[in-house]
């Protein structure tokens, strides 16, 4: 009797597997994207959600594997072979990518971006920080928000001090300690002059609008629901992450946020003026 039950259970499992396989066969694969797409990814703006939506529309061999700031380690011929490049980059590395290309970036209100970065880093568990040698998250765990914003070493200014401006300028205009080699006025003028090189600039505050622009341009379907690959609302539900408590924004903290975003706020508002109504 037990043997018969066992056989019945096996048959049931096989039938269930067959139904799942059949369902998978009937699913439509994502529409292929034929043109070259470049996603200039600013951290903590929602770019990962857009990246993970677009990636399945390309064959694996057409996707550049470099996602950080090391595109220049790849040769020109190798870069030309990729039809989808999505990475943290600066203007110098962006210029390495051949045209024609459909260039996208996503901006977030600059103060909100810094706060999101701090709490994202701070949510990393101590164990994963030590195992992976994560320097930024270690500083966020050790420092309160005001101390973090005032920290001027260990690479922090490059991640927090007018990050949009630095990235749009390119690394040749940033010194070894993260200081900008141009005056604020010159840096802002140069950064703003590079905005027209993007075909689409979206905004974290209107991700559905960004997805509508991108899907219309590329001729692919909108997602059935908006994907959010990294969400501060669910840090404690993610592996190696913990719940964090947000600090009150005091006048001192707000003054530091003003200083760290003095150029980025102008860039953000100008991008909204030029691209926000599309």
Q: Positive or negative CA dihedral for 245, 249, 250, 255? A: positive
Residue 1 lies in a domain: no
Give how many domains the chain has, as a whole number. 1
The parent domain of residue 121 ranges over: 37-275
List the one residue out of 156, 163, 126 whose CA is nearest residue 244: 126
pLDDT tens, N- to C-terminus, the chain (278 residues): 444 444 344 434 444 443 333 444 445 668 889 899 999 999 999 999 999 999 999 999 999 999 887 888 898 899 999 999 999 999 999 999 999 999 999 999 999 999 999 999 999 999 999 999 999 999 999 999 999 999 987 777 888 999 999 999 987 777 766 778 899 999 999 999 999 999 999 999 999 999 999 999 999 999 988 876 555 556 666 778 898 999 999 999 999 999 999 999 999 999 999 998 76
On whether residue 41 sits in a domain, the answer given is yes
How many Cβ atoms sit within 10 Å of the Cβ of residue 111? 19
How many angstroms separate the Cα of 53 from the Cα of each of 69, 160, 204, 223?
21, 27, 15, 8
Question: For residue 3, what pLDDT is reported?
Answer: 44
Q: Judge whether 248 lies within some domain.
A: yes
What are the C-alpha distances in Å from 149 to residues 114, 144, 160, 167? 9, 9, 8, 19
| 234 contact partners, CB below 8 Å, separation of at least 6 | none
**pLDDT the model gives residue 230:** 56
In which residue are the tokens 């959600």 written? 49
Give pLDDT, residue 25.
47
Residue 24 lies in a domain: no
Query: Do the domain assignments include residue 127?
Result: yes
pLDDT of residue 10: 41
pLDDT value at residue 153: 79
Q: What is the CATH number of the domain that holds 224?
A: 3.40.50
Q: Which residue, among 221, 225, 200, has the nearest Cα to 210 in the 3D structure?
A: 200
70: phi then psi, degrees, rounded to nearest 5: -115, 35
240 falls within a domain: yes
In a domain, 96, yes or no: yes
> What is the C-alpha to C-alpha distance for residues 266 and 200, in angstroms, rounded to an integer?
18
Q: What is the C-alpha to C-alpha distance for residues 229 and 236, in angstroms, rounded to an integer?
A: 14
Q: What is the pLDDT of residue 171?
A: 79
pTM score, whole prediction: 0.85
Domain assignment present for 49? yes
């Amino acid at each position: 009797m037990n043997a018969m039950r066992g056989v019945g259970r096996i048959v049931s499992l096989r039938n269930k597997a067959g139904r799942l396989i059949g369902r998978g066969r009937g699913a439509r694969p994502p529409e292929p994207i034929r043109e070259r797409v470049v996603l200039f990814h600013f951290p903590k703006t929602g770019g990962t959600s857009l990246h993970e939506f677009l990636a399945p529309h390309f064959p694996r061999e057409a996707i550049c594997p470099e996602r950080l700031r090391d595109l220049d380690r790849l040769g020109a011929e190798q870069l030309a072979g990729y039809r989808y490049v999505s990475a943290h980059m600066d203007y110098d590395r962006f210029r390495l990518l051949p045209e024609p290309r459909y260039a996208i970036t996503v901006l977030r209100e600059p103060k909100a971006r810094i706060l999101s970065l701090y709490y994202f880093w701070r949510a990393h568990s101590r164990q994963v920080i030590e195992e992976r040698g994560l320097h930024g998250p270690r500083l966020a765990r050790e420092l309160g928000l005001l101390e973090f914003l005032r920290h001027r070493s260990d690479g922090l200014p490059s991640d927090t001090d007018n990050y949009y401006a630095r990235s749009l300028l390119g690394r040749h205009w940033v010194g070894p300690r993260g200081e900008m080699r141009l005056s604020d006025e010159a840096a802002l003028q140069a950064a703003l002059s590079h905005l027209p090189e993007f075909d689409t600039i979206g905004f974290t505050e209107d991700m559905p609008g960004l997805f509508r622009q991108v899907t219309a341009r590329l001729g692919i379907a909108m997602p059935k629901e908006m994907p959010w690959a990294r969400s501060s609302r669910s840090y404690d539900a993610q592996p190696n992450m913990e719940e964090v408590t947000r600090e009150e924004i005091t006048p001192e903290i707000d003054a530091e946020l003003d200083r760290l975003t003095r150029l980025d706020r102008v860039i953000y508002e100008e991008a909204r003026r030029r691209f926000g109504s599309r």
